[in-house]
Amino acid sequence: MAADGNITKDMIYEAVAPDDFESMLDLDRYNNRSTAFDKIISATHDHFWDPLDKKYIDFDEPFDMENQMLLPEEMIISLGTDYVSNHLSDPKTRIRFANQQALRSFSSILHGEQGALNLSASLCHVLLDQGAQEYAANQTREEARHVTAFAKYIKARWGRPVECGPILKTLLTDIIHSPEVYKKIIGMQMLVEGLAMGAFATFFNNINDPLGKKLMQLVMTDEAFHHKFGKIWADRTIPKLSPEEHAIIEDWAAHCFQTLLFNLVSPSQQRDLYEEFGLDPDRVIAEMAAMVTDETRRENMREQTNIFRVLVKTLLNAGIITDRTRGFYAVYVDLDELKGEGDRMVGDDIAEEGIAYLQEINFKDRALKAVKIAAE
Amino acid sequence: MAADGNITKDMIYEAVAPDDFESMLDLDRYNNRSTAFDKIISATHDHFWDPLDKKYIDFDAPWDMENDALVGEELNAAMQTDYVKAKLNTPALRAQFVNKSLLYSFSSILHGEQGALNLSASLCHVLLDQGAQEYAANQTREEARHVTAFAKYIKARWGRPIECSRVLQDLLTDIIASPEVYKKIIGMQMLVEGLAMGAFATFYQKLNDPLGKQLMQLVMTDEAFHHKFGKIWADRTIPKLSATEHQIVEDWAAHCFQILLFNLVSPSEQVALYEEFGLDPAKVLEEIQLIATDEVRREDMKEATNIFRVLIKTLLNAGIITDRTRAFYGMYVDMDELKAEGDRMVGDDIAEEGIAYLQKINFKDRIAQTLTIAAE
C-alpha cells in the first residue's frame, strides 16, 4: 500500500495532500501529462447542454401532478402491500403518495449531484497528473449543470426538495473530505455514478413525464463519461493490488454499496412519508419485509435496468468483487449471469442517443450571434 | 465587516467554510439560486476551444527559436541598455536572449493559470449561491484548458518551463488556501486575471509567432469572462463597504499589485538569465535602473496595451483605489486620464474577435460523428 494511503498503481492517479499546491507547480509535471483522459475531455463539447437554455430543455413544460403518477405504480414498492394499497384507495391520494415517494428519489439524486460537484472539485486539489486534473475540472463543470437541472426539475414538479438522508450525507461528506484517491474514485465515480446510471436508465424507461425523460437522457450523456473515468482507474489499479490492498478496496466498495442501498430502498428512511399519509410506518415496514424476499429481490435485479444491477456489474467487471464479498452481492443478483453479459452497460445506448440529439442542437442550424463581452 | 471575514455585501457571494459541505445541502439554497451569472455561464459554449484538438490550435507549428525573436527587442528592458546591446552583438544571440527572457513571462503565466485552476476549484467549496458555484465550476474547467495550452506552448518553444518565483508562489498559495472570498476574488479574478488580460493583449499585438498570437486570443476569449466575474463582485460590494472594510480591500489590492509588479518586471528575478549569456547581473541591473525613470514608466503605461495599465484601470473603475493609495498607482499611470476612458478594456476587442472565430469552428462545417461510450 502506498505510504500516503492512496493505493496508487498508475502514475496518472498519483495524488498529493489537498493543501499541497506547491506540488502542482513542479516543472516536470506539465510535460509528464498523461493522455489517458484526452478523449473523454475532448468529448465534452459534443455532449454540451445547458439547463438554463430552453433550446436544450424547457422546465416550463407542464405535468398534471395531481392526477398523474410520474412513475408507474409498480415501481412504488410499498403500494404493493395490501395495507398501503387499501389505505390509499382514493386515486388522487394514491397519486400524491407515489409522486411524493418519487420526490425522495429525486432529492437524493439532487444531493448526490451536489456531492459529485464538490467531490470533483476536491479531486482538482489532489490529482497530480495534469490530464487527470483537467478531467476532474471538466467533471466539476458538468456536475454543476446537473445540480442546476435537478434543482429546476424539482422546483417545477414539487416546489422544493426534501432533506438529504443522514446516511447519504455522511457518505458524501466522507468521500469529499477524504484525501485518499481510491475512496473518492470508488465512492463517487464507481458507486454513486454507477448507481446514478442505473437510476437514470430506470427512470428514462419508466417515467411518464416527457420532461423528466429528457432530463434523464441529458444527464446520462455526461454520466457515462464520469463512470468511465472510474473504469479506467479500476483497469489500471485492480490487477496490480496486493491481497491486503484488494481487501481494503473490496471492503470500501461493499461499505459504499450497502450505504447507497440502504439510503435508496430502506423503507425506514421513509417513515415521515408514511406518517404524512396516515400510515403506521412500522406496519408498512413489516409488510414490505414480508413481501420482499431474496427471491423477489433477485427477480427485480434481473431486469436490465434495475438500479443496483448496473452497480454490481461495474464492481464485478472491475474485478473488485472476490469470494470474500460474493455472497453479499449474490443476495441481489446472479453474478455468473452478470459476468457473461460483457462490458456494455444498460445506460450506454440511452447516452449515445442523447449525444446524437445534442450534436444536432449544438452543431446545426445555428446562426452566428453578435458577441458582447464589455462591462455590463 | 462580516463576522467570518468574507466582507459579503451581496448574498450571491455568501460563503461558507471550505469544509462545510453540509451547508451545500440546505434545501432553500437550490431555489434561491441567483441569475446574476447565468449569461456568463451559458456563454461558455460559444467560446469553447480545446488545446488537444488541432482544429482549434496546432502546437506543431514551427518557429526558429535560434534565429527569430518571439517579440521585438523593444519589449525587453535589458536590451535597451548600452551594456547588453554591446555584449549581445549578433542577431542570433539577441534573438536567443529575448526568447529566453520571454520564457520567464510564459512560465509565470503557466504557473498563474495553474493557480487559477486551483483557486476556482476552491471557490466551489466556499461559494454558497448555486449560480456562483456553477460559474466557479465553469471557470475551473476553462483554467484547466489554459494550463494544458500554455504547457504545450512552452514545450513546443522552450521544452520546459522555469520555476515559479517565490513571491508569485506565495501569493497563489495564500489566495487558494484563504477562506476569505474577498481575498480570492480580488487576488485572482481582479488582479491576476486583470494582469493576464493586459499581458495577453500585449503579447497578442507584439508576438511575431503566429502560434503564440493565436494562443493569446483563444485564452482571452475565456479570461474576459473571468475578469467580468470579479467586476460583478466589485459592483455589488465596493459601494456598500464601511470605511474600515474599504481599507482592508484597498490594502489587499495594493499588496497583490505590488507582488505581481515585482514578479513580472523586477530585473533581479532574471539574474540567472544574465549569467547564462555571460553578462554581469549587477551591471545589467544598474543600467536598467538608470533608464527606467518614473517618467519612462509612465510613458510606457500610457500605451493602451501596457500590462499593468489594464490592472490599475480595473481597480480604479471598481472604486477600490482612494486617495490612500492613489499616489502609489500614480507612479505608473495618469489616474485622471484612465478614469476618463470608460469601462471598455483593451482586451475586449481581441476576445470578441476570438469568440467570432470560435463560433465559426464550433457551429459550422461539422458533421455528427459516430459515437461510442462503451468501455474502451
pLDDT in tens, B52-108: 999 999 999 999 999 999 999 988 888 988 999 999 999 999 999 999 999 999 999
Predicted local confidence at residue B263, as pLDDT: 72
With cell 480580488, the residue in question is: B186
Would an 8 Å CB–CB cutoff place A187 in contact with chain B? no
Q: How many other C-beta atoms can be found within 10 angstroms of the C-beta atom of residue B155?
A: 15
Find the helix or strand (DSSP H, E) in which B195 lies. helix B193-206
Would an 8 Å CB–CB cutoff place B348 in contact with chain A? yes
String of DSSP letters for B44-100: GGTT---TT-TTT--TT----TTT--SS-GGG-SGGGSHHHHHHS-SHHHHHHHHHH
Q: Rounded distance, CA B172 to CA A107, Å?
A: 37
Does the pLDDT at position B374 exceed 60? no
Predicted local confidence at residue A304, as pLDDT: 47
Predicted local confidence at residue B360, as pLDDT: 78
Of B162, B169, B373, the CB nearest to A224: B373
Residues 6+ apart with CB under 8 A from A225: A40, A43, A44, A47, A139, B373
- Return mean pLDDT, chain A: 86
Higher pLDDT pick, B370 / B101:
B101
Would an 8 Å CB–CB cutoff place B147 in contact with chain A? yes
Q: Rounded distance, CA A308 to CA A74, Å?
A: 17
Q: Rounded distance, CA B237 to CA B286, Å?
A: 43
Residue type, B200: F
Predicted local confidence at residue B25, as pLDDT: 95
Of A124, A155, A363, the CB nearest to B140: A124
Predicted local confidence at residue B346, as pLDDT: 67
Higher pLDDT pick, A21 / A330:
A21
A13-36: per-residue pLDDT in tens?
788 899 999 999 999 999 999 998
Q: From residue B306, give the alpha-carbon distance in Å to each of B299, B309, B342.
A: 10, 5, 17
Torsional sign, CA B361, B365, B368, B374: negative
**Length of chain A as a residue count:** 376
Interface contacts (A, B; CB < 8 Å)? 220
Q: Is the ipTM of this complex over 0.90?
A: no
Q: How many other C-beta atoms can be found within 10 angstroms of the C-beta atom of residue B235?
A: 15
A160-204: per-residue pLDDT in tens?
999 998 888 999 999 999 988 889 999 998 888 888 888 898 899
Minimum Cα–Cα distance from B363: chain A residue: A363
| CB contact (8 A) between residue B24 and residue A359 | no
Predicted local confidence at residue A376, as pLDDT: 32
Its pTM stands at 0.89
To test the contact with chain A by mutation, choose from B20, B23, B30, B350 the residue with the greatest count of A C-beta atoms within 10 A, namely B30
Find the helix or strand (DSSP H, E) in which A6 lies. none
Residue type, A144: A
Residues 6+ apart with CB under 8 A from A199: A105, A109, A264, A307
Candidates A133, A123, A119, A126; CA nearest to A21 is A126
Interior angle at CA A184, CA B15 and CA A219, nearest 5: 75
Residues 350-369 of B with CB under 8 A from A: 351-352, 355-356, 359-360, 362-363, 366-369
Q: Rounded distance, CA B289 to CA A324, Å?
A: 73
Minimum Cα–Cα distance from B140: chain A residue: A137
For residue B359, what pLDDT band results from cuts at 50, 70 and 90? confident
Predicted local confidence at residue B303, as pLDDT: 56
| CB contact (8 A) between residue A360 and residue B371 | no
Residues 249-268 of B with CB under 8 A from A: none
Of B111, B130, B371, the CB nearest to A352: B371
For A277, phi then psi, to 5°, come to: -100, 20
Minimum Cα–Cα distance from A178: chain B residue: B19
Higher pLDDT pick, A89 / B347:
A89
Residues 26-65 of B with CB under 8 A from A: 27-28, 30-31, 33, 38, 41-42, 45-46, 48, 50, 52-53
Taking phi first (over 0 means left), then psi (-120 to 50 degrees means alpha), and beta for anything else, what does residue B278 get? left
Return the C-alpha cell found at B129: 449561491
A42-69: per-residue pLDDT in tens?
888 888 999 999 999 999 999 999 999 9
Of A22, A356, A366, the CB nearest to B371: A356
Tell me what the mean pLDDT of segment B249-255 comes to.
93
For residue B297, what pLDDT band results from cuts at 50, 70 and 90? low
Torsional sign, CA B337, B342, B345, B351: negative
